[in-house]
Amino acid sequence: MGCESSKLASCCWSGQNGPVHEVQNPDDEERAEVSDLPTFREFTVEQLRISTSGFAVENIVSEHGEKAPNVVYKGKLENQRRVAVKRFNRSAWPDSRQFLEEARSVGQLRNNKLANLLGCCCEGDERLLVAEFMPNETLAKHLFHWETQPMKWAMRLRVALYLAQALEYCTIRGRALYHDLNAYRILFDEEGDPRLSCFGLMKNSRDGKSYSTNLAFTPPEYLRTVAQEIVLILVHLLDFNSSPEMNMINIINIAK
């Protein structure tokens, strides 16, 4: 499956004359701040039910898990803003206070390298997140499921740069940990630029564990996992023959 928009296709896929967007100066952190987004807010379940047409199956963007998946829907608010709504399974966040604290903290982040968190819903046993909608699919789709030509080197390098800038921004803002970093967490916006999903900044607390965002208190085994996730994404970006089945064991074997 190829890119859905021609603008994205022109900068993603190999070709002779496709335009490449200028990469923003990585030192210019001030201009990376986003000022035209609404402030973080809390929604009701009914508002989000209406925005997703009753959590309609046809609006499902992705889902995770087997028995009780956390589902992401595309939707539209009353002001016509397009959003992504993540609905957690009912056992994911038993502590409503912790959920609200996490969501409000992540919701303070505003950066053009992120798919920013716009709001949340904590009503009864419902836990939902509302983020900017990214219409041009995930990095995983464009790396692993292309039909004609692979992604351009310029775009691959841009993905790596923007990912690094997004993670640096989150670290500076006190959200130093990103959970389950993979190619499905990197999305493409309307302009064809890569963004890092804000959903990975929140820890699913179903198992009762919630690691501190302060790296000084992070378990060593968790740091190793984060490093492996970043290495895996970089390998996928550098390898035109990469596939979603490649994992750290494959990388180690290749390196031998």
**The pLDDT of residue 63:** 65
Question: Which residues are part of the catalytic machinery?
Answer: 180
Distance set, CA 236 to CA 13, 77, 145, 197 (Å):
15, 35, 13, 18
Q: Which mean pLDDT values do the consecutive 10-residue runs of the chain (256 residues) have? A: 48 45 48 77 98 96 67 95 93 88 94 96 95 93 74 85 89 83 89 93 58 36 49 56 46 38
Answer whether CATH 3.30.200.20 is correct for domain 35-255.
Answer: yes
